[in-house]
Amino acid sequence: MLPTSSVGRKLMMAATGQMMIIFVLFHAAGNSTIYFDKLNAYAAGLHAFPFLVWAVRLVMLVAVTFHIYYAIRLKLENNAARPEPYQKKKEIESTFAGRNMVWTGAIIGTFLVYHLLHFTLQVIDPATAARAHLDSAGRPDVFLMVARSFQKAGIVAGYLFAVTALWLHLTHGIQSSFQTFGLNGDRSFPLVRGGGSVAALGLLAAYAAIPAVIFVGLLLR
């Protein structure tokens, strides 16, 4: 049953947000295997369990759908309930990341579609698709696909723009989700805010580093 109260909707959005944060953390860890020339082995290992891969994809699709739905609904409810003076006061007190959650979310959503078309479905540039090239072990050459893609300035710029939006979204989203679950006391909130900022910055570094180091020629075979 879907939540009918504003509090329930906030809890649902926070829960789905944290599910996506966990996925983003694991995805970053998996991507890091590229530094040790283990990306092809990692990808092949994942796809040795197609049921698990598709189960995770389905869960994340549901989480993303609910997250977007409740984000839009809560935004509309808040706009309808707030008088203009409160809105102006709130804008002064809030952060840039908090004020632009809708926009950074839209950027992330658009990028996610592109990312799936690029590296999952591999239809953006079929000539560099992993399934079109095998490595020495006979596995789809994911490393080659990633390396060739990130040698193109436009693709790198797009990815860096998207992960910057992700950083801003997480800077506010992590602390906001924990606040929703009650960690908003005088002692706990500074820790949540600081921890959320550090985690968001760490993920920015993790996701931005790969296209950057490949583009400047520091990570090539």
Q: Specify the pLDDT at position 136.
A: 94
Taking a C-beta distance cutoff of 8 angstroms, is the pair 144, 165 a contact?
A: no
Q: Specify the pLDDT at position 189.
A: 82
Tokens describing residue 51: 């049921």
Domain boundaries, the chain: 6-215
For residue 166, give the nearest of 128, 110, 117, 119 by alpha carbon.
110
For residue 70, give the nearest of 2, 19, 143, 131 by alpha carbon.
2
What's the alpha-carbon Rg for the chain, to the nearest Å?
Answer: 20
3 state SS of 140: strand
Distance of CA 163 to the CA centre of its chain: 8
| Tens digit of each residue's pLDDT, the chain (221 residues) | 667 788 899 999 999 999 999 999 999 999 999 999 999 999 999 999 999 999 999 999 999 999 999 999 998 888 887 665 555 444 434 789 998 999 999 999 999 999 999 999 999 999 999 999 999 999 999 999 999 999 999 999 999 999 999 999 999 999 999 989 888 777 888 888 899 999 999 999 999 999 999 999 999 87
